[in-house]
Every structure is written in structure tokens, then in C-alpha cells.
Amino acid sequence: MTKPLPKLVLSASRDIPFNQLVLSQKNVRRVKAGLSIEDLADDIYRRTLLQSLNVRAELDDNGQPTGKFEVPAGGRRFRALELLVRRKRMAKDQPVPCVVREAGIAEEDSLAENVMRVALHPLDQFRAFSALTEAGLSEEDIAARFFVSVSTVRQRLRLASVSPNLLEVYGEDGMTLEQLMAFSVTDNHGRQEQVWEQVSQGHHVPAYHIRRLLTEDTISANDRRVRFIGLDAYTEAGGDVMRDLFSSDEDSWLQDPALVELLVSEKLSEAAQEISAEGWKWVEAAIDLPYGCEHGKRRITGTTAPLSDEEQARLDALVAEYDALGEQYQDGGDLPDDVAARLTEIDAGITALTQRPVSYDPDEMARAGVFIALAHDGRLRIDRGYVRPEDEPMAEGEKASTGSFADHAPSRTAVNVGGQGPTGERIEDEDDAIRPLPDRLVSELTAERTVALRDALANAPDTAFIALLHALYLSVLRPHGQAGCVQIGITQTCLGNVAPTLRETVWSQSIQARHEQWSVRLPSEPDELWAAIANLAHEEQMALLAHCTSLGVNALFEASKGYDGRISEHGIAQRIAAADALAAVVGLDMAEAGWTPTVDNYLGRVTKPRIIEAVREARGDATAVLIEHLKKGDMAREAERLLDGTGWLPEPLRLPRAEGQPESEADVAILPDFLAEDEQADLPEGDDACAIAAE
């Protein structure tokens, strides 16, 4: 027969005057952490002491009680009460509820009291805050009483927007706090539960992925359209904004895309009307203008008012002061606040003096126009002074047509405000086979490559000179055909209708800036232009030659169908092969040049097998298997994340065959893989150049 366990006997509790308590040196807490003593004292003063002190009778050297009691557990509460006594907010002999311990070890009691406690679960904290708000307390009152920030209280209360079913899942440790917070981005409980059902089967679903699924049909506050109109204008117009617990004004989502487009159109129209009042003949405004919209139009140049003697002296003084401060603090250390502020003022002053307004000839303005578009950061990109061929002044002796309405119509600026260009078609999955890439997608990809190749060639003058001689020789040798990719004429292929966003690429901006620099330096009259070019240094002539030659590059795939519906191989393969050779010489790697696969430019426009194959080539079979179960949209977004930074490129953008690989005459006549109707047809055995390039 087993002996029964002894019954638990709790330690006695009693009220002891505070002046009979002393702090024990056996308290294990040494490091200060958590709520400050001052805050704890304020809390005790507001709601009294909620937890008794753990005390032991103090003994003298002979082991006899001294009449005082040591406090080994509850030292922070003791210090808070001591602070209240010093501040005359509590009497020295105020009875304090205590648990008097006799058995055991004082250090063990102190350790147990601090270790055995469990922090309040965030869900319980949310429910407690909710109960307090229902009792009439404000968010500020709750924050003050519990010594937390108001934002913390608001974050916890925001969990009320999450479905109760998901709160229960979180309470049972079925999801993390970060995942739960991500669901607060929307109040739609049905959509929240639908997304959780979709992602809950995964081993680890990051919060950003949940947030992305919940905001698919919205516009990010970081979008350039939102930056252009301003978030306040959108909300004042009645638009709803979605935010989660992590969100600020810059990290939120706008739920009414149609309202955004309307506000953008209205503001663009206002900007266009304001600029048209300057006296231009026409204004073309849109979110995205087609790449090459300025081609074929003469650019007029304005004049900048020179600085007065006083302004020049002011500029010289600012530059000298800026240089002096730079030399004084050139050691790279942190600048004093007053010096940093002064440098900012100097920079603003220099900018105001150097960025002078440009004036144009009124007669030229009457026949020229302005392009307005949105830059990547939401600011207006305004390009003034383009003259269309039909608006050029007539040559002497040329007769104007008569009888047309335009001859008698009143003079008025033509203002055209458009929207965002098309983003291309989306294709649906048909089966699991890897089919040839869509013609439209190949055209867009090779359009980007053409722009990048033009920019690369412009920075390689010696190569551009050889390309020019090569093209000229071909034109003499084959006067009735053109096999090269440098189209000397110079004939520029319009790429704007192929990929509307080309105008914002880094390569396009580099080309435009270089072109404007030459336009400023060189006159437009033929005689003056000849003399100006002849007087350039050899290096400048080579640079101008490279720039002009680069504008003739055409590495574009243009699908041309024959009578039997097959893509015609004549000319296209030779052009692409010539572009590959040129890319190899200038060392153009589209990945290094900045191209990365995204949902918009590639992954969202190909089939699931294509997406899986891309991930497999870049990250291996093990990674590709992880996304095979996903739906098309989710797979494309996850693939974008997986491919980021890998340098993977689709076939139309890859470098040509590796150096030293044998070539044959048959290779010239065979289209590249991405142009073939059957990707594996007609390829020599073992030819896996594309896979090698992807690795």
C-alpha cells in the first residue's frame, strides 16, 4: 500500500507595514528590463498593488527575528512603493499585502517568480483592449495606462477586422502573428478565409504572399499614378484605402482603380492645358507615351537667360563655400547638423541659379508641340519643342493647298490626353507541353533587346565603325537585299507599338539624353552642321558615328506569316543571327544590363510549363517541384521571387552560342529555338546552347 502524498499547505499571508520591509540581496534579478520603476509606481498608484510581495523574516547573527522582513521576490514592486513613499504619495507605515515564506531557498523563490510567468498572448491582449474600448476608454487612455504606444493599441484593435475563424486558428497556433496581421489588410472576411484555405497547405507561407493575394485587384500607394495624384486627393474623392498592421501611407493599397485612372486623366489634362497656354501648337499627354514618339520630328532649342553679374557673383560664392565645407569635412565622418543644413541650403541656392528658365522663339512654338508623360517616380516628364514634318515651314515657291477647313480655322492648341498603353495579351494553358513562345511576347522581348543593343553599341565607337563599314559593304554587294541588323539609312524601326513601356527603360533614357546632348551641340542647318562635324575632334566624331549607327540597330522579331500559316524564315533568321554576333562583340548581357523576369514582362504571359522550366533552369529541379501545385497567377508571382537575382533569361534575350562552338552553314538557315514551331525540330544533336546560357 502506497503512502499518500502530503497535502499542500500554502504560505501564510498578512499585511506588513512598508517601513518594516527591506530589499533582500538574494533577488536574482540584476539586469534592468521591461517597464521602468517610475511607470510601475504610476500604475500602482492608479490601480493599487495587484500582486503580493514574497517576504521572509529577517534574522540577526544569532538567528533571531529582527522584526523586519526581507523581500527576495518582488523587488521591482518594492522599489516602486519606495518611490511612492519618497514622493509623499503613500504613507511609510502603509500595510502591504505579503506572502510570508519560511521553508525553501530565497533565491529559488525569486527565480521561480520570474521564470514561471507567461507573457500575455497577443490575441488575449487584443480582446482585453477591445473590452476596455467598449467600456469607454480611448486608445490614448489604454496606451497611457499600460505604458505602450498608441500605434500598438491600434494595431491590436485592428485585429477586429480579421475573421473570427482565423482568430481561432491563430489562438490554436495554426498561424503566426505576422500571417494574422497580413489578413488585416482587408475587412472582407470571406476573402480572408478563401486566401487562408488557399495557402494553409503550404509549409511556410510568408506574410507578404498573403498580403499580395488580398491586394491583387488594387493599386499600390507606391504606384507612380498614385504618387502623381497624391493619396489625399484619392481619399478626398471618396476612394477606399487598404492597410494592414504594418502599413503606412506609403505602404497601402487603393481599392478603386477606376477612380485612380479618372483622377490621373483629369490632372494630366490640367497639366496639358497649362502647358498649352505657353503657346505651343499641340500637346500630347499620357501615362505612357509610345517609345519613339519623337522620332521623325525636329527638336527646336530654346535659349537660357544668362546670369547677371550679381547672380554670377552669388553663384561663385556659393560654389566656393560648398567646396570649402567639403574639404573641411572630407574625412567622411558624420557632419554636424548645422553644417548639413547649410550644405542643403547651398545646394538649393546653386540649383535655383543654374536651372534657368528656357525661352523659345514664338514662331517656332506656333508650329511645335510638347510630349507629357509620367516618370517612374510619379513626376511629370515634359519634353518641349518637337516639330512634326507636316508643320515644317514650306520651301520657297511651294504652294499651300487651298480650300481646306484648316486654312480658315482659328488657331488653337491641340491637346490630346491619353491613358496607359496596352500591356499585351495573356495566354491560357492548353496542356503540359512546352510550346513556342507567343509571337507578340517574342516581339516585345526582342524590342527590349534592340533598345539595349543600340545603347551598348553607342558606347562602343570602334565596334560601331566596323558595323557601319560592314553594312555599307553589304549594301554595295547586295543592292537588292539587306541581311545585317544595322540598317544604314539611317532607318529607325518604330518600337513604341510593340512594347509601350520602352520609353521608361534605362537604355531608352540613356539614348534620349545622349541625343539631346548632340542636338544642343550641333546646328540644324546643313551647311553649318557639316562645318561643325568637320571641326570635331576624332574621338568626338567617332562618338557621334557610334550614336547615329546605334539608332539603326534592328534586332526585332517581327512575325510574318506565309500562305501556309508558317512563320517565314527569310530575312528574320539572318537579322537575329547578325544581332547575336553584334551582342557578343559589345558584350551585351541582358541580365547584367538590368533585365529581370517579372509577372508583367514574361512570367504572367507564358504557360505553366514554361514557368516551371524557367525555375528549373535557374534554381534546379528541387525548387521547381515546390511551385508545381500552384495556380497560374500564384506560380508566376512565386517564380518572379525565385528568379530574382539568378540572371536567368528567356531564349530571345540570351547571349549567342558560346565562343568556340562549331558553326555550320545549316546553322544560318535554321531559326533560333524560340522562333521554331517545334522547339526541338531541326536542331543538331547535342545542341543545347540555350540551356548552357541559362546555367
CATH of 13-115, one of 2.60.40.10, 1.50.10.10, 3.30.365.10, 3.90.1530.30: 3.90.1530.30
CA 293: distance to chain centroid? 27
Sole residue written with cell 558553326: 663
For residue 611, what pLDDT is reported? 93
Q: Is the Cβ–Cβ distance between 15 and 98 less than 8 Å?
A: yes
348-367 confidence digits (pLDDT tens): 888 888 877 788 999 999 99
Q: Which helix (H) or strand (E) holds 16?
A: strand 13-17
**Residue 472 pLDDT level (bands cut at 50, 70, 90):** very low
- Which candidate, 559, 581, 588, places its Cα nearest to that of 451? 588
Does the pLDDT value for residue 586 go beyond 80?
yes
Measured in degrees and rounded to the nearest 5, phi and psi for residue 454 equal -60, -45
For residue 221, what pLDDT is reported? 84
For residue 500, what pLDDT is reported? 65
For residue 28, what pLDDT is reported? 54
- Rounded CA-CA distance 576/446 in Å is 9
Sign of the CA dihedral 207, 209, 214, 215? positive
**Residue 474 pLDDT level (bands cut at 50, 70, 90):** low
- Rounded CA-CA distance 161/669 in Å is 63
Find the mean pLDDT for residues 573-596.
87
For residue 494, what pLDDT is reported? 66
Q: Is the Cβ–Cβ distance between 166 and 175 less than 8 Å?
A: yes
Query: Which one-letter amino acid corresponds to residue 90?
Result: M
Q: Is the Cβ–Cβ distance between 392 and 367 less than 8 Å?
A: yes
Residue 354, number of CB atoms within 10 A of its CB: 12
Q: What is the 3-state secondary structure (H, E, C) of 492-550?
A: CCCCCCCCHHHHHCHHHHHHHHHHHHHHHHCCCCHHHHHHHHHCCCHHHHHHHHHHHHH
Find the mean pLDDT for residues 165-180.
84
DSSP secondary structure string, 67-122? Answer: EEEEEEE-HHHHHHHHHHHHTTSS-TT-EEEEEEP-SS-HHHHHHHHHHS--PPPH
For residue 329, what pLDDT is reported? 77
For residue 690, what pLDDT is reported? 32
- Rounded CA-CA distance 349/314 in Å is 9
From residue 56, alpha-carbon distances to 11, 67, 85, 124, 570 in Å are: 11, 11, 22, 34, 100
**Residue 515 pLDDT level (bands cut at 50, 70, 90):** confident
- Which candidate, 650, 487, 653, places its Cα nearest to that of 574? 487
Pick from 26-35, 55-64, 250-259, 673-682 the range whose average pLDDT is largest: 55-64
For residue 684, what pLDDT is reported? 39
Measured in degrees and rounded to the nearest 5, phi and psi for residue 523 equal -75, 165
Q: Which residue has the higher pLDDT, 280 or 240?
A: 280
Query: May I ask the CATH class of domain 122-258?
Result: mainly alpha
For residue 479, what pLDDT is reported? 43
Find the mean pLDDT for residues 330-340.
74
Q: Is the Cβ–Cβ distance between 671 and 573 less than 8 Å?
A: yes
Measured in degrees and rounded to the nearest 5, phi and psi for residue 104 equal 80, -170
For residue 108, what pLDDT is reported? 67
Does the pLDDT value for residue 371 go beyond 60?
yes
How do 95-100 and 13-17 pair as beta strands?
A: antiparallel
DSSP secondary structure string, 286-338? Answer: -SSPPTTTTTT-EEP--EEPPPPHHHHHHHHHHHHHHHHHHHHTTT-PPPPHH
- Rounded CA-CA distance 598/606 in Å is 11
pLDDT over 90, % of the chain: 11
Q: Which of 62-66, 173-177, 421-425 has the lowest mean pLDDT?
A: 421-425
Q: Which residue has the higher pLDDT, 25 or 231?
A: 231
Q: Which of 73-82, 170-179, 215-224, 389-398 has the lowest mean pLDDT?
A: 389-398
Q: Which helix (H) or strand (E) holds 22?
A: strand 21-23
Q: Which of 145-159, 160-174, 176-190 has the lowest mean pLDDT?
A: 145-159
Domain boundaries, the chain: 13-115, 122-258, 306-356, 439-595
Does the pLDDT value for residue 489 go beyond 60?
no
Does the pLDDT value for residue 283 go beyond 90?
yes
Does the pLDDT value for residue 614 go beyond 90?
yes
For residue 176, what pLDDT is reported? 83
Contacting residues for 626 by C-beta, under 8 A, at least 6 apart: none
Sole residue written with cell 536542331: 683
For residue 518, what pLDDT is reported? 79
Q: Which helix (H) or strand (E) holds 54?
A: strand 53-59
Q: Which residue has the higher pLDDT, 47 or 643?
A: 643
**Residue 687 pLDDT level (bands cut at 50, 70, 90):** very low
As a whole number of Å, the end-to-end CA separation of the chain is: 76
Does the pLDDT value for residue 450 go beyond 50?
yes
DSSP secondary structure string, 154-188? Answer: HHHHHGGGS-HHHHHHHHTTSS-HHHHHHHTT---
For residue 255, what pLDDT is reported? 80
Q: Which residue has the higher pLDDT, 639 or 125?
A: 639
- Rounded CA-CA distance 129/135 in Å is 10
**Residue 639 pLDDT level (bands cut at 50, 70, 90):** very high
Cα Rg of the chain, angstroms: 37
- Rounded CA-CA distance 339/325 in Å is 8
Q: Which residue has the higher pLDDT, 115 or 343?
A: 343
Q: Is the Cβ–Cβ distance between 56 and 16 less than 8 Å?
A: no
Q: Which residue has the higher pLDDT, 348 or 528?
A: 348
- Rounded CA-CA distance 106/602 in Å is 69
For residue 287, what pLDDT is reported? 86
88 in the Ramachandran plot: left (φ > 0), alpha (ψ -120 to 50) or beta?
Answer: left
**Residue 547 pLDDT level (bands cut at 50, 70, 90):** confident
Does the pLDDT value for residue 212 go beyond 90?
no
**Residue 570 pLDDT level (bands cut at 50, 70, 90):** low
For residue 563, what pLDDT is reported? 39
Q: Which of 143-147, 366-370, 436-440 has the lowest mean pLDDT?
A: 143-147
